[in-house]
Amino acid sequence: MSLPPRRFLFLLSSTRRLGNTEQLAYCAAHHLPVPAEQQWLHLLDYPLPDFVDLRHRGTFPTPTGNAKLLLDATLDATDIVLIAPLYWYSLPVPAKLYLDYWSAWLRTPNLDFRQKMQCKSLWAIVVSSGERAEAQPLEDALKLSAQYMKMAWGGMLFGTGSRPNDIQFDAPALQRAKSFFLTPAGN
């Protein structure tokens, strides 16, 4: 019996459109195995209210609006791909806020978020204007987050660029993109 096709959720989190991370992600997605399904969402299109830590003050409310849309997309995916420019050696705010919401969803009654996330994989596609070593804190944070969630860590595809389209000149990154989803990093 064949497995159902994997469903990749691509979450764009740059604060500008069609930048380097987005372009590198399109490159990688182009080489996904054929039956895989794709959903693309730009976090700028689904702004979330500021996160408020309610952990020790009762329960988190049932998600509504954009939070519900992102939650449903997250739960529907087998693979979650965060597409993020490096901002101050870390994630840009839209991506970080989305992850903060995981803390709420983990504690929202009747969601079973933790259990449902366990069979999924987390991936990252990151571009910065500096060296790959400077993206290590971001990679470590996501890898640890995957571990905490008992998710598989797929790996980080890294490229270099500053101005939009610079990524088109990073030939090694474009080459790595071709096999990125075929060779998961594992845990």
Ligand X SMILES: Cc1cc2nc3c(=O)[nH]c(=O)nc-3n(C[C@H](O)[C@H](O)[C@H](O)COP(=O)(O)O)c2cc1C
Q: How far is the CB of 129 from ligand X (least distance, A)?
A: 4
Interaction residues for ligand X, span 60-119 (CB under 6 A)? 85-89
DSSP 8-state code for residue 110:
T
Q: Which residue of 9, 14, 70, 181 would you call a contact of ligand X, by CB under 6 A?
A: 14
**What's the start-to-end Cα distance of the chain, in Å?**
27
Q: Is 16 in the site for ligand X (CB under 6 A)?
A: yes
Position 148, amino acid: Y
Stretch that binds ligand X, among 16-24, 102-110, 112-120, 145-153 (CB under 6 A): 16-24
Q: What is the rounded distance in angstroms from the CA atom of residue 99 to the CA atom of residue 185?
A: 21
Interface with ligand X, residue 17, by CB under 6 A: no
Contact by Cβ (8 Å): 101, 51: yes
Beta bridge partners of 125: 83, 157
- Sole window of 14-22, 53-61, 148-156, 173-181 interacting with ligand X (rule: CB under 6 A): 14-22
In the complex, least distance from residue 171 CB atom to ligand X, rounded to whole angstroms: 16
Among residues 130, 140, 183, 187, which is the contact residue for ligand X, using CB under 6 A? 130
CA-closest candidate to residue 102, choices 113, 115, 118: 113
- Nearer to ligand X by Cβ, of 22 and 79: the residue is 22
What is the token pair recorded at 73?
Answer: 């997309």
Min. distance of Cβ 112 from ligand X in angstroms? Answer: 34
For residues 116 and 68, the answer to whether their CB atoms sit within 8 Å is no
Tell me: does residue 170 bind ligand X (CB under 6 A).
no
CB of 86 to ligand X, least distance (A): 4
CA distance 44 to 40: 12
Q: Is residue 33 a contact residue for ligand X (CB under 6 A)?
A: no
Side-chain half-sphere CA neighbours of 49 within 13 A: 8
Under rule CB under 6 A, residue 155 binds ligand X: no
Residue 129 binds ligand X, judged by CB under 6 A: yes
